[in-house]
Chain A
Amino acid sequence: MTALIDARSLPDATVLTPDLVIIGGGPAGISLALALANSKLNIVLLESGGMNFDPKVQNMYAGDETGVRYTALDAGRLRFLGGSSNHWGGWCRPMDEIDFEARDWMAHSGWPITRKALEAYYPRAQELVEAGTWMYDKSDATMAAMAPMMPLGAGGVYTSWFQFSKTRDSVLPTYFGHRYEQDLRAARNVTPYTNANVTGIRLAANGRNVDHLDVATLDGKHFTVKPRQVVLACGGMENVRLLLASNDVMPAGVGNQNDLVGRFFADYPTPRDVATLVSFAGGLPAYYGSNTTAPNGVILQAAFAPTPAWRRKAGVPSSLTTVEHAVELDDTGKAAVITTALALGVNASSAQAYALGCGMELAPDPDRRLTLTGEKDALGLPRLKLDMRIADSDFALYRTTLAEFGRQLLASRAGMLRLNFDHRDDWMKTMDWGNHHLGTTRMSSDPKQGVVDADGKVHGVENLHIAGSSVFPTYSASNPTLNLLALTLRLGDHLKKVMA
């Protein structure tokens, strides 16, 4: 069993020469290390933090923001082993096939791979997040047997299902650092270093290869890693900072020859109380409003998603609408329910209203971006600034899907819907964010459209790959963890081939 090495204990000026270095001990970095565990590769995993939260380490994430209100850059992510899985909610859902397609109604859309390319990796990703048997959109019968589902008429919205990462006693989802620490230790060929901060990705003079990494500890130690291959897995913000700050050979930064690194930043807007749903028949089953354990132990929660056919027809992005909590209607609301139910010949004497929330997919926007500032962190690395934007059309398109949902409720005589927000200010009042950092090193076969290619390799740099949701060129509304893990496991297979 290997030890977790505290980099502060290394002699100054140490040089490590592994086959592969993985920068970042979050879900992607840990999963990649485990995927390559016990192979012939000598692997070093560099984690900036330790086993627990440390404010001094976390402070290296601080940065500036402009544009629409967004989570502080040092609040939406965590810098210790396990990364941001240490505060995730455990929500899992695979992306849909359409999420990978180039869609003429969504500029900059289209992955260089299809969902099929990930199919083989989803089962292992599902194991890693400990979400149990793969059910997702095959859950209707199981859950309907527990309590009847609300019928939806035919149309553009269907009942979809989230699964949840395992609940263990009082520990909610899988925190990758704690959960997989022993597995990392058990891997003969993986050496994890904690408190090891990469401060520079140093290219060879021709700019085509990573020559070495500069690594530092907060107590002043400096060492070097000279690997054959590098995988950057620090998340959608920190990947950008390292690439842009490493500008000694390529003045624009590593992989940034086409000014793409840091652009197309995205997250999931999760505004609350976007609509009011009335169920004419009364209270909805618990699985609509909270995660519910099925008889087979799988934890599920229902959501309302646009069908691929509706997305094509209406030109709308992905979205997942969820039931939040029961609400009381005002007099107009009561009049709306009474009048509509009478007009449809439905008994609504037990009607119950609920607030709805959602996770929306943003359209890719090159101007929603991260750049470096003049301010530096404790190790001298420039801090980030986020220019956060959300277009009126992002709200309008989601509203189109909500209206279709309302139409279906009326068609099925199951209920009705109130659209609570009309203007941008309404949406922004209850705006929250998923704190998933996406898109900043987007994947494309064309170096002018993306930072990495279909294998996750940085265009123009032969031995540098990127893992994680920063490579997503479009974002879906599905929470990214399960999907980025599948993509990372695929990268693992690719690395086995190229490093054989």
Chain B
Amino acid sequence: MKRREFIAGVAAAGVALVAGLYRFTDLFVKHYPPTPYDDLLGQLTDREQAAKLGAKAAIASDALSQAARLRASLRGRDLVTAANADIAAGRLVEVDGWLLPQTLAQLCALAAKI
């Protein structure tokens, strides 16, 4: 085996290892079981923290109806856009006293239900 091939092989193995660790372990990124709401929850950069906060949200409805309401209010917008629109319109919700944009609060509550 030529030296160049050896190095390329090691590099490829390294990439494969990192990709594997990334995909199949929580070493680089937390993995969650698939849900019917991944299109929504994917907007949360740190789902664990969001779930911790969302656990304090007093939203009574089930996850399915909650997700449906969220999709309707997001109307295809990303979270930043929707949150800023909430803030501008004064649509704030209290979660354990913290004033949050309504969309963010609902997303956190959904994250806590999964």
Q: Which residues of A contact B (CB under 8 A)?
A: 276, 331-336, 338-340, 342-345, 403-404, 406-407, 410-411, 416-420, 422
Contact = CB atoms under 8 A, between A and B. Distances in A.
A407 B100 CA distance: 8
A404 B88 CA distance: 11
Contact of B94 (A276, A340, A344, A419): A419
Contact of B49 (A335, A403, A416, A420): A335
B98 A336 contact: yes
Interface string B42-55: 00111001101100
A336 B46 CA distance: 11
Contact of B104 (A333, A339, A345, A403): A339
B80 interface: yes
A418 B92 CA distance: 12
Contact of B99 (A334, A342, A406): A406
B40 interface: no
Nearest first, the 8 A-B pairs at minimum CB distance are A406-B99, A335-B52, A335-B53, A336-B98, A342-B45, A335-B49, A418-B97, A338-B49
Interface residues of B, number: 26
B79 interface: yes
Contact of B50 (A335, A411, A416): A335
B80 to A, nearest CB: 6
Contacts of A403: 92, 99
A420 B96 CA distance: 9
A6 to B, nearest CB: 57
B99 A422 contact: no
Given A332-B52, A336-B95, 17 more contacts: A276-B97, A335-B49, A338-B49, A340-B101, A342-B44, A342-B45, A343-B79, A344-B83, A345-B80, A403-B99, A404-B90, A416-B98, A417-B98, A417-B99, A418-B97, A419-B99, A422-B97
A339 B97 contact: no
A interface, by DSSP: helix, strand, loop or mixed? helix
Given A339-B53, A345-B80, A411-B88, A418 B98 contact: yes
B99 A343 contact: no
A344 B80 contact: yes
Contacts of A411: 84, 87-88
A410 B98 contact: no
Contacts of A420: 97
B56 interface: yes
A377 B34 CA distance: 79
A404 B90 CA distance: 8
Contacts of A410: 87, 92, 99, 101
B108 interface: yes
Contact of A336 (B44, B83, B90, B96): B96
Contacts of A335: 49-50, 52-53
Interface centre among A335, A406, A419 (most CB of B within 10 A): A335
Contacts of A344: 80, 83-84
Interface centre among B84, B88, B92, B99 (most CB of A within 10 A): B99
A406 B46 contact: no
Contacts of B90: 404, 407
Nearest to A331: B52
Given A339-B44, A339-B50, A407-B87, A332 B104 contact: no
Nearest to A411: B87
Contacts of A416: 98-100
Contact of B92 (A333, A339, A407): A407
Interface string B70-97: 0000000001100110011010101111
B100 A336 contact: yes
Contacts of A419: 94, 97, 99
10 contacts: A332-B52, A332-B56, A333-B98, A335-B53, A336-B100, A339-B46, A340-B100, A344-B83, A406-B99, A417-B98
Given A340-B104, A343-B101, A332 B87 contact: no
Contacts of B97: 276, 418-420, 422
Interface string B9-43: 00000000000000000000000000000000000
